[in-house]
Amino acid sequence: MTDTAPSAPQPATPPTDLPAVLRERAAALDAADPLAAYRDLFVPSEGLVAYLDGNSLGRPLTATRERLASFVDGPWAARLIRSWDESWMDAPTELGDELGRVALGAAPGQTVVADSTTVLLYKLARAAVDARPGRTVIVADTENFPTDRFVLQGIAAERGLEIRWIAPDAEAGVTPEEVAAAVGPDTALVLLSHVAFKSGYIADLPAITRVVHDAGALVLWDLCHSAGSVPLDLDADGVDIAVGCTYKYLNGGPGSPAFAYLAAGLQGEVRQPVQGWMGAADPFAMGPEYEPAAGIRQLISGTPPIVGMLPMRDMLALIDRAGMPAVRAKSLALTGFAIEIADEHLPGVRVASPRDPERRGSHVMLDHPDFKRVVADAWARGVIPDFRPPQGLRVGLSPLSTSFTELAEGLWAVRTLLR
């Protein structure tokens, strides 16, 4: 979401002065793009010139229309409550396994789809600090998304813990060296984002995870800006816990449920604090005492959000078909092109994201003191990036739904509005 208040909507007006050399360059990139045909699988948006906010809300797939309609007439209307026994009870873990296989590098039985990102962050962070009794410090960074920081502040207040803050370079991100300097024998948990929500910086997940383990602590990775755009290998990298949303690059739609990963080796040690009946060993026993379910199902608390899971299935199938390496290659090409345009055609604009492609996720942050106004004006003209204070315009590029021509037209509109 943008932090600006766009002016009244106006008819979308595509840029008319995109120079031929830039138009031809974008067209050549589109012609060479092996994933170009995937764009036709998304629902078109009337009046849209360029959607550059796919890292905030992914576009819907046309296949999802039929899936939602057939769900109403089928499992819901035709089978009614019988659908719980027939498929819905297993949906959080079944879809979690598919997500783990396609996008997370996680073996079955370690991923579940449930709740919101905030709720899962609370449940897993609380469980992690409780699993390290006697340790009194949580390590986090000042540049992380507000939810992550706010949740940790609440847990620290509840449990009488200290938060030790890392203050990284906002454009370089948290390094293994900074983590090593912050952790110690008193550290219970380290919470970091794999891809920084502002700059797009990719943290060195394997190295940082090793540093945290050497200190005897647990690490919780926020994967909101990486799941579905940056290849992950959670099992191989020894990740303990991870949480992420599904409405960005996984195109689950507004309010779609989040996911949690809990390594198999920790599932007997970590006990989440929100003891709902759906996470009990036998929900329908309706017994007097809570006994957690075995395995990943213990992370479920309340009724699974079945309808919210439906769009994700279509996008996971699409990512599986394209393959995460191809998705990542397209992402790097798009972000590289965005930086190229900014350098050559946006005077006065500074690139505030890593130029090293290995350290860059699927969005680019551009910096200019007039961007709050520009983003509001751009929205009114059918060009949709987003604004991040104090003066950042974030170009979010969802690889399967974004073309190079669309990107060029959107950034040229930004140039026009700056002038």
Catalytic residues: 145, 222, 247-248, 394
**Which tokens belong to 16?**
């008319």
Query: Residues with Cβ < 8 Å from 179, sequence gap 6 or more?
Result: 139, 166, 190, 192, 208, 211, 212
Query: Residues with Cβ < 8 Å from 311, sequence gap 6 or more?
Result: 60, 61, 64, 67, 68, 251, 252, 253, 256
CB 360 within 8 A of CB 201: yes
Query: Residues with Cβ < 8 Å from 266, sequence gap 6 or more?
Result: 131, 218, 240, 241
* Alpha-carbon span 380 to 287, nearest angstrom: 56
The one-letter code for the residue type at 97 is: D
* Alpha-carbon span 381 to 378, nearest angstrom: 5
**Residue 189 forms beta bridges with which residues?**
138, 218
Which letter does DSSP use for residue 362 in this model?
S
CB 162 within 8 A of CB 140: no
In three state form, how does the secondary structure of 344-361 look? HHCCCCEECCCCCHHHEC
Q: Which helix (H) or strand (E) holds 319?
A: helix 306-322
Task: Specify the pairing of strand 50-51 against strand 383-384.
Answer: parallel
Expressed in percent and rounded to 5, the helix, strand and coil fractions of the chain are: 45, 15, 40
